[in-house]
Amino acid sequence: MSLLPTDNGLWGGEPDSPLVAAVHLSVRDLVRRRLAESGLDWEAFVAGPIDRCITAPDLAAIDAAILATGHRYAFSATISAVERPEAYQGLAALDGGFAHPDAPTAPPDAEGKSLCGAGDNVVQAAADIEGIARYVRSAAQVIALMESGVPAGSIAIIDDSGGTLTAPILDRFAGLVCAGGTVRSHLGILAREHGIACLMNVRLAGVQDGDRIRLETSAAARTAESYLTGTDMPARIWKLP
Amino acid sequence: MSAPVRPAISYARLLETNQLIQACGDSTYWLCLTRTVQGSKLYPVSAYILLSYLNAFYRYPSLIRKVEAVMPAEAIADRARQMGVKAQNSSIGWALPCFYLLGREYLINLGFLRPQDALDDVITVMDFWKRFQLAWHRNDGHLTNADYNQRAQILPHAAVQRFAGELHPVVPGDALSVAAQRFLATVSQYGFLVSAESRISLTNSGPYRLDDDRQLLMRDFMDLGETSLPWLDDIAADMPYNNLTVAMAVTGCHFHLVDDWGSFEATPEFTPDRLTGIGLYTSDTLSEGHQPVGMDSPATLAAMLHDLSDRAKAATDRLWLRMAGWRRDQLIDAGALCYYAICKEIAHIAGVFDPADWLEIDPRAERFRPLLSDDYADQALGELVGSLTLPSQQTAPHGLMKWSDKPTRVLTPLPLSVLNGAPYLPRVAPPQKGGSHLPPKNDRYRTTRGVLSLAAYNEAARAFVPAACQPAANFRCETTLAYPGALA
């Protein structure tokens, strides 16, 4: 088998991710085979044949080979799992409340409130806020809330750090709790624009739909420097009695 | 105007190109590490980003040559400075070179390229970018916002004076303040949706010092109307402006960071109560600079801001329902095309915009779609721009990369051994007939001269030279104006 010109690089190893490594090794093997089959040297091969003899079906076969090992993809967009349930881990991951293993928790204190999570505060406010937890994790839930209206005092609990899933209803929430992103993610930017209290990068456990919660929005806003240095600046979340 | 003659490959040219590549890599790492982590339950974001990088790699060089056959990069940048169109940050300042180079890096790792392949293309892209940036930043004398310690003083003094002089005062809690906050939030929300979960429909530039306690920040909202993004056809038919520029006077906080993505940070935080002056403008390729919108009085401006907010909110709901019904391939195409076409404004300015150039996925990129599961794309993109753990990104062990202190880099330089005769592929083939899973763009382009057909829009753009860009005016630079007796 021919070697590719970029095989055996002096400093490179393999990608960190086993999935990325598997895909890239498979693609590179495909390129090697097509180069050998062409009988061309690299200059001639890369000048045109590589665009014709490596096709979408070739690359789909690599995807199929990975699935044949039993691997199932984690989904980030719901549509991916909906369209290819055989290729993705189940949508059941969206059911129920968050149960992050690294969420800081503590038993109820003297006031009866129990620590159930923490995140990065987007904007420091004068006071903490309280509201009713309402998970929003799918387009169907958004459509339902567009039709019924968002109940006053709701705090959205979402795992989407973007600004699109909740776009039609975002401005109707009293607060936002997001399990992903940073304070500079799109959701954080929009929360700041709308003037909505927001914690990003939240680790949360034990909060169910309808629970009354308090967000420590009086905590300092997390800074860019803290992300660069890896310094945590937690704003806490409590479940209220 | 004719395209400048591109210098032949030389040691100096390669050194300069490699410096530009390194600067782009450093900037990419810093921006990706400190500015954002994105995720979306609606959009397969990483998948569309990787597809956009591939499309950029295969197509940008040819499209840049097509644009420069009509208008050189520095003239496009001069035009862009006179308006708030999408030819600034992040579109040109970061995305144009970095989308292209990240596509190249990805393909090197997949075994499709050697570092020297497409060498002529790499030089073309980086040379265009450099000349654009030099002209775009000519008033602050830097190549990028990062070079200027994260700020962008693009405007000349006269323009700052004009915007400052036309501001309507805002008092926290008054009618204009309420309208302004609602407008900024609502149109930002709309912009994120328009641009398929990206921030490329809005950007900030500045700050400009107004006095010891006040700074001026310019915010541009772009691609709001039924212009060149096909998913806004019909949806945005009643958005009366495609681009809006908001001049904001802010009291009591310092914008210590306005980055090459057009994001800002301020100390203390820029909260609505610190907005003390506002102006609203529109502009495009066909306008004589920024035209006031609703600026007759504070009351008319507040009414205009509410009207635009109402329109943007209604368009958001309509667009969201359209997108929520899309298939994965359609969501990926919208995102990939939105990213890839982030620099399409250069074609509008030059009057050579063609949907076949900017709104299609090239078959050479399209073939990779079956690989782009959410899982793989998330992890591959994370390695490419975050952890820098792809093989091509490892360097000699003594390396201490800027920002990371690790023996890594984001982007591979051009090998100098081509000067010794090492073989290389000069250029990839021109764009091939592509496609999209989305409906084709209709022939309606919202401009400051009304709704035009594409042919009319291109023709008008080619025929138009704003007064400020006529040579005599264009070269009356800040230094010239500072010495009227010597140079004016």
Domain ranges of chain B: 11-148+328-420, 157-326
pLDDT digits (tens, 9 = 90+) for B93-130: 999 999 999 999 999 999 999 999 999 999 999 999 99
Predicted-assembly ipTM surpassing the 0.85 threshold: yes
Contacts of A161 in chain B (CB under 8 A): 37-40
What DSSP state is assigned to residue A110? T
Query: What distance in Å separates residue A174's CA from the closest CA in chain B?
Result: 15
Q: Does residue B486 or residue A143 have the better pLDDT?
A: A143
Helix or strand holding residue B256 (H, E): strand B254-258
Report residue B124 CA to chain centroid gap: 18
d(C-alpha A176, C-alpha A160), whole Å: 11
Contacts of A186 in chain B (CB under 8 A): 36, 38, 192, 197-199
The stretch A161-183 carries a mean pLDDT of 92
pLDDT digits (tens, 9 = 90+) for B271-297: 888 999 999 999 999 999 999 999 999
The proportion of chain A whose per-residue pLDDT surpasses 90, expressed as a percent, equals 79
Per-residue pLDDT, B5:
47
Min mean pLDDT across A90-94, A133-137, A232-236, B411-415 is at A90-94
Query: What distance in Å separates residue B438's CA from the closest CA in chain A?
Result: 16
CB–CB contact A27 B111 (8 Å): yes
B69 near A CB under 8 A: no
Token digits of residue B486: 């010597």
Taking the CA atoms of residue B327, residue B328, residue B330 and residue B336 in that order, the dihedral angle to the nearest 10 degrees is 170
What DSSP state is assigned to residue B254? E
CB-nearest partner of B197 from A87, A163, A224: A163
B276 near A CB under 8 A: no
Amino acid at B110: L
The stretch A58-68 carries a mean pLDDT of 98
Helices B298-324 and A139-148: angle between axes, nearest 10 degrees: 130
Query: What distance in Å separates residue B100's CA from the closest CA in chain A?
Result: 18
CATH of A114-239, one of 3.30.70.870, 3.40.50.150, 3.50.30.10, 3.30.565.10: 3.50.30.10
Checking DSSP bridges between strand B202-211 and strand B168-169, what pairing results, if any?
Answer: unpaired
Residue from B41, B55, B184, B389 whose CB has the most chain A CBs within 10 Å, to mutate: B41
Contact criterion met (CB below 8 Å) for B101 and B411: yes
Per-residue pLDDT, B36:
63
Q: Is B261 exposed, middle or buried (0-12, 13-18, 19+ CB in 10 A)?
A: buried
How far is the CA of A237 from the CAs of A120, A133, A151, A198, in angstroms? 11, 11, 21, 11
The stretch A117-130 carries a mean pLDDT of 95
Per-residue pLDDT, A1:
61
- Alpha-carbon dihedral sign for residues B297, B299, B302, B304: negative
In the predicted model, what is the mean pLDDT of chain A? 93
d(C-alpha A55, C-alpha B434), whole Å: 14
Report residue A60 CA to chain centroid gap: 25
CB–CB contact B376 A73 (8 Å): yes
Contacts of B393 in chain A (CB under 8 A): 12
Residues in chain B predicted with pLDDT less than 70, given as ranges, are 1-7, 35-38, 488
CB–CB contact A195 B112 (8 Å): no
The stretch A183-211 carries a mean pLDDT of 93
Token digits of residue B143: 């190549």
CB-nearest partner of B37 from A5, A185, A221: A185
Query: What distance in Å separates residue B48's CA from the closest CA in chain A?
Result: 11
* Nearest-by-CA chain A residue for B46: A76
B391 near A CB under 8 A: yes
CB–CB contact A162 B192 (8 Å): yes
d(C-alpha B290, C-alpha B281), whole Å: 6
CB-nearest partner of B367 from A32, A54, A74: A54
Q: Got the DSSP string for B344-411?
A: THHHHHHT---HHHHSSB-HHHHTTGGG--HHHHHHHHHIIIII--SGGGB--TT---TTT-SSB-SS
Per-residue pLDDT, A97:
87
CB atoms within 10 A of CB B161: 13
Per-residue pLDDT, A14:
92
Domain ranges of chain A: 18-71, 114-239
CB–CB contact B110 A27 (8 Å): yes
Please enumerate in sequence order all residues whose Cβ is within 8 A of that of A199, keeping only pairs 6 or more positions apart, or say none: A118, A119, A120, A121, A122, A176, A177, A178, A215, A217, A235, A237
Per-residue pLDDT, B38:
66
Burial call A202-233: b when 16+ CB within 10 Å, e when fewer: bbbbbbeeebbbbbbbebebbbbebbeeeeeb
Residue given tokens 């073939």 in the structure block: B367
Report residue A187 CA to chain centroid gap: 12
CB atoms within 10 A of CB B473: 12
**Measuring CA to CA, which residue among A150, A114, A155 is closest to residue A134?**
A155
CB-nearest partner of B189 from A11, A146, A190: A190
d(C-alpha A136, C-alpha A144), whole Å: 10
CB atoms within 10 A of CB B329: 16
Per-residue pLDDT, B33:
81
B365 near A CB under 8 A: no
d(C-alpha A53, C-alpha B6), whole Å: 33
